[in-house]
Chains A and B, each alone.
Chain A
């Protein structure tokens, strides 16, 4: 469970202070599928980095499963990320010279107890994203959509509670984007908590709940009523933009 209270984040560069988050509060329960929406530059990634324990708020409180994240030191944050959070980035961030297999198993390097059946776990994660036959491929031998799926498999390998995806379809064509979104849907159905950051209404529609950010504040926090399968709507949504 995620609970944030009055989060504020101000970037100070030189004499300039840029307030980006100005008092964000919400709560996300286990198993939710939440989209954080907003136009570019509103602080979505900033919020995402705080939720992912990569960054700390200037003020405010962040409870992750009753742990006050603000009180943890750098090493503890690393362990927490390793254990509870899976990241998916817009730019994939795969190791260019390593195979899909090695990329997927990367988080396991940093676990406390190395599992015995790493191969099997990696195979399972790659199967979950439909890349069983691409285990030994390197990123430059894969399409963008396939690379992002390797990245999702990497986020899954430690079976984290929360998957944080920052514009996961941002660098993909429409078809690959849909494939990626259908994977998130499946993961959600399997019980993962998913937080998706996007500026794209159509992508956000895939979630159960949308939190809209504007000028560093939440302007909207609503549940989506699902009458139709949003996968079919995505095309319309993009055309409307």
Chain B
């Protein structure tokens, strides 16, 4: 095939002048290497975000007492969020699986015989487990009857259990929370620590009524954990809840909210935000390298067209058409960027592997950067190759062979 033969001519010309070819390639190598690393870091960051969302619960919405925009901790002094609000959400908002109200307090001293510790106390309803997808690994959860009778029972986390009872089973034993005696009826599954280092397992759950009336002595709650039936409805549910609470709390448009709504989406966005600066810097580096590399490539090609005028004239004399010449120079440009892309991807992969070994930066290697790099290589090769190729094709053989 004529096309094949011309491609081989282009590749041979590149091979015949390796130094020039290397300089044409350098920008692409750096740009693609940077792109590969960026994408590995991007996927790493995204994986971390997904883990956060997974941890928060993809279908969860938190209605939290207190204004502002950030994630918890909630403002424990705000007293406007009530059980009636939770009830209203259950009744009026469509698409909800659970809406579980809770109140909590941190740093409550707890004793068991001579052993003592401090933990966070959550006053919850029976659907708490379902709302958090967090169940007992031993014993029984807080039951509806416990809430109805203001029972002095609790379910404790594994850290608290270990701190107070070592390796013994705590089921059926008693602890004192703020000098009120509670019977332990269950132990929660282990959850580990939060991204900021809070130990999820250092806690005790008690019935909501017991907590509000006996322990905290308050008629308001701290948050409502809402779980939507369908992931697609998360935005609409969020909107409905906001509107409902707005109305119920009689908040005027000019006033600040006394509550916050946080969804998995918001959690994800927040996690994304922290990794943004570094990667936008690297994206700029990659873009700049590709651009500078492209311009360098174009200029070397233009010089090369000048140097190779006689060769071009000769090719035309022995039968090359303008298109053949155009095509050969485009092939040379594209061969440079595509080989640069292969070397750059290799270099980028090596750098990524080194990052993986030596730093904590999350990285994920995948095929996507290769596909994108190939796209960029073709784009840069064509875009910056076209002008030199046109120039070569437009040369008049009579003029250059004189």
In the complex, A107 has a CB within 8 A of chain B: yes
CA of A52 to CA of B401 in the docked complex: distance in angstroms?
Answer: 13
Structural contact, B402 and A109, CB atoms closer than 8 A: no
Structural contact, A109 and B9, CB atoms closer than 8 A: yes
Structural contact, B401 and A82, CB atoms closer than 8 A: no
CA of A95 to CA of B313 in the docked complex: distance in angstroms?
Answer: 11
A111 vs chain B, min Cβ distance (A): 7
Point out the residues of chain A lying under 8 angstroms from B397, CB to CB.
54
Instruction: Report B311-331 CB contacts with A as 1/0, cut-off 8 Å.
Output: 101111111111110000000
A134 vs chain B, min Cβ distance (A): 19
In the complex, A49 has a CB within 8 A of chain B: yes
Point out the residues of chain A lying under 8 angstroms from B398, CB to CB.
49, 54-55
Structural contact, A87 and B317, CB atoms closer than 8 A: yes
Structural contact, B324 and A110, CB atoms closer than 8 A: yes
In the complex, B16 has a CB within 8 A of chain A: yes
The number of A-B residue pairs with CB atoms under 8 Å apart is 71
> Which of B318, B321, B322 is in CB contact (< 8 Å) with A154?
B318
Q: Which of A43-76 touch B at CB < 8 Å?
A: 45, 49, 52, 54-55, 74-75
Knowing A54-B398, A98-B16, say if A74 contacts B313 (CB, 8 Å). Answer: no
In the complex, B162 has a CB within 8 A of chain A: no
Q: Which of B149-205 touch A at CB < 8 Å?
A: none
In the complex, B360 has a CB within 8 A of chain A: no
In the complex, A93 has a CB within 8 A of chain B: yes
CA of A89 to CA of B5 in the docked complex: distance in angstroms?
Answer: 25
Point out the residues of chain A lying under 8 angstroms from B314, CB to CB.
93, 95, 106
CA of A52 to CA of B313 in the docked complex: distance in angstroms?
Answer: 13
Knowing A45-B402, A109-B6, say if A75 contacts B321 (CB, 8 Å). Answer: yes
B19 vs chain A, min Cβ distance (A): 12
In the complex, B255 has a CB within 8 A of chain A: no
Ranked 6 nearest A-B pairs via Cβ: A82-B319, A110-B319, A97-B16, A107-B318, A78-B321, A93-B314
- B residues engaging A (CB < 8 A)? 1-2, 5-6, 9, 12-13, 16-17, 310-311, 313-324, 397-398, 401-402
